[in-house]
A and B are shown apart, each in its own frame.
Chain A
Amino acid sequence: GAVVSQHPSWVICKSGTSVKIECRSLDFQATTMFWYRQFPKQSLMLMATSNEGSKATYEQGVEKDKFLINHASLTLSTLTVTSAHPEDSSFYICSARNDPDTQYFGPGTRLTVL
């Protein structure tokens, strides 16, 4: 139980284009989903908290107009990286919460911007 999937697992795009990453909770409903980013040799860093049916809450330093988050249902949240640049290349991981203390993580999406 408590499986979270992400799609795609990796993506390569040209600078200036937009990329959408999907995060799904497969066997439970998640009122809250989280988006993280991990650069090489660094820790996982929370980007934003997404609540179903409401606006996402972004961490300090994360541009909300660049990283668009939509949490339209209890099993799906999407992250769109708009006008991507090479410095946005990273490993993006989502998680979903089904109890107050535990987050279940997806396998991650490797984004490379050329």
Chain B
Amino acid sequence: AQSVTQLDSHVSVSEGTPVLLRCNYSSSYSPSLFWYVQHPNKGLQLLLKYTSAATLVKGINGFEAEFKKSETSFHLTKPSAHMSDAAEYSCSISNFGNEKLTFGTGTRLTIIP
């Protein structure tokens, strides 16, 4: 069985300050981990993915995430928030060789001008 927990349903940060969106996972196998972003009326867009290569993964729009097996975490970070980052962010997991994605409940990111 696999699961994902997104600890914060809503995060607010000021423009220009760092962003941290938390994700913890549970998996019996070697997982692949993903972060997706969804803007209103748009489909989920892949930000970045971890698939057993480098533990620090860089994605689009300046986001990155670090896979920490000891902490079973895959937190998403960005050094400086931009107004356009306001969106819903979802962390998901699939087990190696298993294509099924399991999603967390999502985190809504609000950027304060």
Residues of A within 8 A of B (CB): 4, 6, 9, 32, 34, 41-46, 49, 93, 95, 97, 100-108
Contacts and interface: CB of A to CB of B under 8 A. Distances in A.
B77 interface: no
Interface residues of B, number: 22
B82 interface: no
B51 A44 contact: no
Contact of A42 (B4, B101, B105): B105
Contacts of A4: 43
B100 A41 contact: no
B99 interface: yes
- Chain A interface mostly helix, strand, loop or mixed? strand
Contacts of A100: 99
Contacts, number: 49
Contact of A103 (B51, B101, B102, B105): B101
Contact of A104 (B4, B32, B46, B49): B46
A87 B43 CA distance: 23
Contact of A97 (B43, B44, B92, B99): B99
Given A32-B99, A43-B104, A105 B32 contact: no
B41 interface: yes
Contact of A107 (B36, B43, B51, B100): B43
A49 B99 contact: yes
Contacts of A6: 43
B46 A46 contact: no
Contact of B106 (A9, A43, A107): A43
Nearest to A103: B101
Contact of B49 (A9, A95, A102): A102
A40 to B, nearest CB: 11
Contacts of B103: 43-45
B43 A106 contact: yes
A100 B46 CA distance: 14
Contacts of A108: 43
17 contacts: A4-B43, A6-B43, A42-B105, A43-B102, A43-B104, A43-B106, A45-B103, A49-B99, A95-B44, A95-B101, A101-B94, A102-B46, A104-B46, A105-B36, A107-B41, A107-B43, A108-B43
